[in-house]
Amino acid sequence: MMEYIDIKKGYTKDILEKVSRIIKAGGIVILPTDTVYGIVSDSFNEEAVKKIYDLKLRDSGNPVSIVVANKEMIKSVTDEITEIEEKIIEKFFPGALTIILKKNNKMSDLITSGKDTVGIRMPKVEFLLELVSKVRKTNCSNKLQPCWKTSNNRCKSSLKRL
């Protein structure tokens, strides 16, 4: 089942709750980020993460990033943050930046493609930050278009492709 909910002009707590339930149930949602529309799922649900790889026709050797709502979530997926990394986080988060950090054993190899690092974003998008806080887990996110296509900022045209 697919449903289009326009949040560009605002959203209600009911919409936030509905999207949260979809993610908690292993579903995926398409949401605006600071840069493009992204596919978002629960990063700790391997079946949901596999859906992102399948939808994007993405090679499993190509990792996806995760979305966090705060520094505590960053600390939940890494055991080590250097002083320089801490300064980068302080200066640029939230914002349109992905920082690559050493992952801990809680982070799935599916997300990281077996690498020992994980890409972490904290977008400057209120709805997405509230959603990740509500789900209380990091969320897997990746731009919507298949890996060989250019970025698509238009959600409706992206939905047609799906």
Task: Retrieve residue 35's tokens.
Answer: 């840069």
Q: Tell me what the mean pLDDT of segment 28-57 comes to.
A: 86
154 is a domain residue: no
- Examine residue 150 and state whether it is found in any structural domain, yes or no: no
94 assigned to some structural domain: yes
Residue of 151 and 112 predicted with greater confidence: 112
Asked whether residue 109 is domain-assigned, the answer is: yes
For residue 105, CA distances in Å to 29, 44, 46, 117, 118 come to: 26, 12, 15, 11, 11
Greater confidence (103 vs 33) lies with 103
Average pLDDT value for residue range 69-98: 94
Q: What's the whole-number mean pLDDT along residues 96-121? A: 93
Residue 136 forms part of a structural domain: yes
What DSSP letter does each residue of 50-114 carry, written as one string?
A: HHHHHHHT--TTS--EEE-SSHHHHHHH-S---HHHHHHHHHH-SSS-EEEEE--TTS-HHHHTT
Q: pTM score, two decimals?
A: 0.83
| Range 39-66 average pLDDT | 88
Cα–Cα dist 139/16, whole Å: 15
Does a structural domain hold residue 156?
A: no
| 31 φ, ψ (degrees, to nearest 5) | -135, 155
Instruction: Classify residue 5: in a domain, yes or no.
Output: no
Q: Does residue 160 belong to any structural domain of this protein?
A: no
Contact 140, 66 (CB under 8 A): yes
CATH code of residue 125: 3.90.870.10
Q: Which domain holds residue 24?
A: 13-145
Q: Quote the number of domains for the chain.
A: 1
Report the first-to-last Cα separation within the chain, whole angstroms.
Answer: 12
* More confident: 96 or 152: 96
